[in-house]
Structure 1
Amino acid sequence: MDVIVIGGGIVGVATAYQLRAAGHRVCVVERHATVAQGATYGHGGIVLPTPLDAWFGPTFLGSRRGIVYRPGLNSSARRFAKQIAPLQAPDAFRAQWQRLRPLVELSRDAIASIEAGFHLEFEQREGVLHVTRDPREWEQAQSALELLGEFEMLHNVLSAAECAEVERSVPADPAFAGGVMFPQERTANCPLFTKLVKQVLDEQGGVQFLFGRAVESIRLENQRAAVELAPAESERKSTREVDVVSCDAIVVAAGAGSKPLLERLGLSLPFHPIRMLSLTSPIAYEECTPHLTVVDSVRRVSMTRMNQRIRVAGAAVLQPEREFAKPLSESLLEAGTALLAQSTHDWIPGAAKISAAHAWEGMRLLSPDGLPVVGNALHPRLFVNVGHGPAGWGLACGSAKVVSDLISGTPPSVPPDTLAALRVERFAS
């Protein structure tokens, strides 16, 4: 089949890879000049989420210490926070993680297959250490810790002294509640991984990339589907004509850009956008630099060494939806940057030269039940792969396999209850 994938971030490129591996011809349409330029660009580096990383869990919106939260009196942001709140209860959180876990494990297998099959090096680093300062917040995370044991995920619960022993950059003073070490979980460079997979596709053939082209609309017909492409930026002054590219199926995997495209087709999904911030900082003092990834569990800030720099990522900005069309205000940017800087000061003091850091912000879509939307939608020729939230990298590689299976008519590689939990129909009123 001929398949158009809209979006050249990690989700779109992973989807293209799986479709090509299944024997389809693929065209990836991306509005930027190359891949990995949107939300993928500033990814914090954690490859696969654990229950402690699940953004719908008890340590995310439940604490709000990691949220730059400006909801307004009766805004969409406040309504969204109320929608997601029930998932913080232990039983609800467990049930939702149970649905998500097969997608995480499928993603693990998909990444391992790509990595081993093409001997890719993308700054992989083993070992993730979650640290928590306040005993009350440590108690709040217990439902997530219980899941680690129930699902036999390799981890070690550590005292503050033990945390400082396994990661010398973490100061034992002032005292803190403790931490959790995941010795086999990894961090890596998501933009680099995306570019390397694109390079593999270029070498193999069968995948075309159209850069600098925005999709204006999607056409769905019985026999074929098509996308209308706006003129390239260099041609916009000389022509208003759109290019129409036909295909057998379309996959919408354009991150935050997916929402308006789908709404034009009459599909309104209850996603809420969230801005994620990151700082990429030069190393200040080599002896203070962590060899593990350190995660401030309550603020939801990850601190990862990437060669001669440190990526500090988190600081989610939750705003009313109407404000996302505007640039982020200086006060919110300062608040988010201060949150990131404070985490580095608290947990890896002396490691990052924050004054010389490069700041970045990107948009991600959150769903009100914590799961992405993956599968067929509206029409037999239309598929979606969106709403992965902050855990976009790992989940993208598994959901790409699910989409490829569905388009190929192959039984999906996740259990029926997980597949049902990912479908767009779950939001039908």
Structure 2
Amino acid sequence: MKIIVLGAGVIGVTSAWFLAKAGHEVTVIERAQEPARETSYANGGQISVCHAEPWANPKAPWKTLQWLGEEDAPLLFRFKFDWNQWRWGLRFLQQCTPERARFNLQNLVRLGLFSRDTLQAVRGELGLSYDERTEGILHYYTDEADFNAAIPAAALMREVGLDRQVKSAAECLAIEPALKHSRRPIVGGTYTPSDESGDARKFTNELAKHAEALGVKFRYDCAIDGFNAAGGDVKSVRVHTPEGKEVLSADRFVVCLGSYSPLYLAPLGVTLDIYPAKGYSATIPVGPEHEAPTVSMTDDGYKLVFSRLGDRLRVAGTAEFNGYNLELNEIRCKALIARTSEIFPNGGDYANAEFWTGLRPATPGNLPYIGSTRYPSLWLNTGHGTLGWTECCGSAKAIADLIDGKNPEVDYPFVQGL
């Protein structure tokens, strides 16, 4: 079949790869001038199945209220006269029951485990190099209550097959000695030795080269204007480039447009519960004189992640619900450095940190949309929130199987006829 993949982030490029491997003629449409220029550009760098605990859980409403008005809060709602934001918030609250949180966590673990295995297979097949590290991910805690609250979630993840282990403070320092310099005592942690980290942008660019060698065509600097539907199906997509407007036809269209997916699908009557969660990152130079962590870590209390990417330390996190705003907030940037320097006083050249912000496509329960719509030719692979890097390869392999009429290898609630 002739297939058009919309979006060349990590989700779009992996989708194109697996569709091309299945024998399809694939074209990728991307408005930027190269892959991974938006959400995949400078994310936290973690392939973190251990992050499967959804934002929507019984503790979330109270914590969100506590953080209201705090400019540097880990989770910040900037309420707007925006029906989509309010509707998303109501759906989020509906996902905060113990039953829904458990259901979402279990499915996120299953998808994450499958995706991590698939990523490892792709890396081995192609010999990809993207500053990957395979020393696991350590969640550390500086608050006793937060640590105690993490223990049941770790146990539930172990039930589904993830090796997330509870560790004492001493064991955390043994796993990552750089923690011994922390100005806040570490009270304990959890460790998932099978999780990984790496540069999502490097991975996406490398895989795009292999996809091109396999026959995938990439159309960069090519923006989408909308879809053309007739006879109950989508027939083509309208685009424009610096040279002018075009209409591109295909047998299948795969939407991998992240936070922008609902905007393009709304005219077709396809409603997606996706709202942009603005995240921040700092990329900090690391030299031989610094004592930066080498094991990828998560600061659950402050919702931050740390990944060593060669001679750089990537710190990322927080979620700001502020529509499609992409302005860097200096207060939130400073908060990243303040917490990092508190835990790792000599962790890097903080004065020369590079800051970035991007929009993560969040669903209320953190489950991405993977599957079909009411239009036979229109398919979805979007809404991965903060876990796009973790879930990309598994989601891509699954959507390729679904389009080919096969049963995917992972137990997951795929959407049908949305």
Distance 1:77 1:110, change over 3 A: same
User: Counterpart of 1:419 in structure 2: which amino acid?
Assistant: P
| Equivalent residue number for residue 70 of structure 2 | none
Instruction: Tell me the CA shift for residue 99 of structure 1.
Output: 2.5
Pick the aligned partner of 1:360 from 356, 363, 367: 356
| Equivalent residue number for residue 22 of structure 1 | 22
In structure 2, the gaps of 5 or more residues are 65-72
| Equivalent residue number for residue 385 of structure 2 | 389
| Equivalent residue number for residue 238 of structure 1 | none
| Equivalent residue number for residue 271 of structure 1 | 274
Tell me whether 1:101 sits opposite 2:109 in the alignment.
yes
Contact 1:108 1:398 in 2 (8 A): yes
Equivalent residue of 1:369, what SS?
coil
Distance 1:170 1:77, change over 3 A: farther
Contact 1:281 1:352 in 2 (8 A): yes
Distance 1:112 1:26, change over 3 A: same
| Equivalent residue number for residue 84 of structure 1 | 92
| Equivalent residue number for residue 280 of structure 1 | 283
Equivalent residue of 1:345, what SS?
helix
Pick the aligned partner of 1:66 from 59, 66, 74: 74
Q: Which moved more, 1:262-271 or 1:125-134?
A: 262-271
Tell me whether 1:200 sits opposite 2:177 in the alignment.
no
Tell me whether 1:110 sits opposite 2:118 in the alignment.
yes
CA deviations 1:194-218 (Å, max 9, x no partner) are 111111112222x110000001111
User: Counterpart of 1:368 in structure 2: which amino acid?
Assistant: P
User: Counterpart of 2:249 in structure 1: which amino acid?
Assistant: S
Give the distance between the partners of 1:57 and 1:50, measured in 2 at CA: 16
Q: Which moved more, 1:40-49 or 1:221-230?
A: 221-230
Instruction: Tell me the CA shift for residue 293 of structure 1.
Output: 1.1
Distance 1:167 1:224, change over 3 A: closer
User: Counterpart of 2:372 in structure 1: which amino acid?
Assistant: N
CA deviations 1:297-348 (Å, max 9, x no partner) are 12221111111111111122122x3xx2x443x6xx1232122112212322
Give the distance between the partners of 1:216 and 1:36, measured in 2 at CA: 20
Please give the residue correspondences for 1:219-368 in structure 2 after superposition, counting only pairs within 5 Å.
219-221=228-230, 225-232=235-242, 235=243, 241-283=244-286, 286-319=289-322, 321=323, 324=324, 326-328=325-327, 333-368=329-364
Contact 1:296 1:343 in 2 (8 A): no
Give the distance between the partners of 1:118 and 1:352, measured in 2 at CA: 32
Instruction: Tell me the CA shift for residue 6 of structure 1.
Output: 0.5
Aligned positions, number: 407
Contact 2:326 2:359 in 1 (8 A): no
Q: Which moved more, 1:62-71 or 1:115-124?
A: 62-71
User: Counterpart of 2:296 in structure 1: which amino acid?
Assistant: T
Pick the aligned partner of 2:190 from 175, 180, 194: 180
CA deviations 1:147-201 (Å, max 9, x no partner) are 1332342233222222122211113654232111222210011111111111111
Please give the residue correspondences for 1:3-14 in structure 2 after superposition, counting only pairs within 5 Å.
3-14=3-14
User: Counterpart of 1:371 in structure 2: which amino acid?
Assistant: L
Contact 2:95 2:365 in 1 (8 A): yes
Instruction: Tell me the CA shift for residue 349 of structure 1.
Output: 1.9
Give the distance between the partners of 1:285 and 1:372, measured in 2 at CA: 40
Distance 1:177 1:86, change over 3 A: farther
Distance 1:254 1:78, change over 3 A: closer
CA deviations 1:249-306 (Å, max 9, x no partner) are 1111111222211112222222211111101111266441111012111222111111
Give the distance between the partners of 1:51 and 1:361, measured in 2 at CA: 20
Tell me whether 1:42 sits opposite 2:21 in the alignment.
no
Q: CA RMSD in A?
A: 2.4
Equivalent residue of 2:301, what SS?
coil
Distance 1:369 1:156, change over 3 A: closer
Tell me whether 1:378 sits opposite 2:378 in the alignment.
no
User: Counterpart of 2:268 in structure 1: which amino acid?
Assistant: L
Instruction: Tell me the CA shift for residue 8 of structure 1.
Output: 0.5
CA deviations 1:114-162 (Å, max 9, x no partner) are 1111111111112211111111222332331221332342233222222
User: Counterpart of 1:309 in structure 2: which amino acid?
Assistant: R
Instruction: Tell me the CA shift for residue 28 of structure 1.
Output: 0.2
Q: Which moved more, 1:177-186 or 1:30-39?
A: 177-186
CA deviations 1:5-37 (Å, max 9, x no partner) are 010000100110111111100000000001010
**Once the two structures are aligned, what percentage of the paired residues are identical?**
29
In structure 1, the gaps of 5 or more residues are 236-240
Q: Which moved more, 1:84-93 or 1:15-24?
A: 84-93
Give the distance between the partners of 1:221 and 1:23, measured in 2 at CA: 27
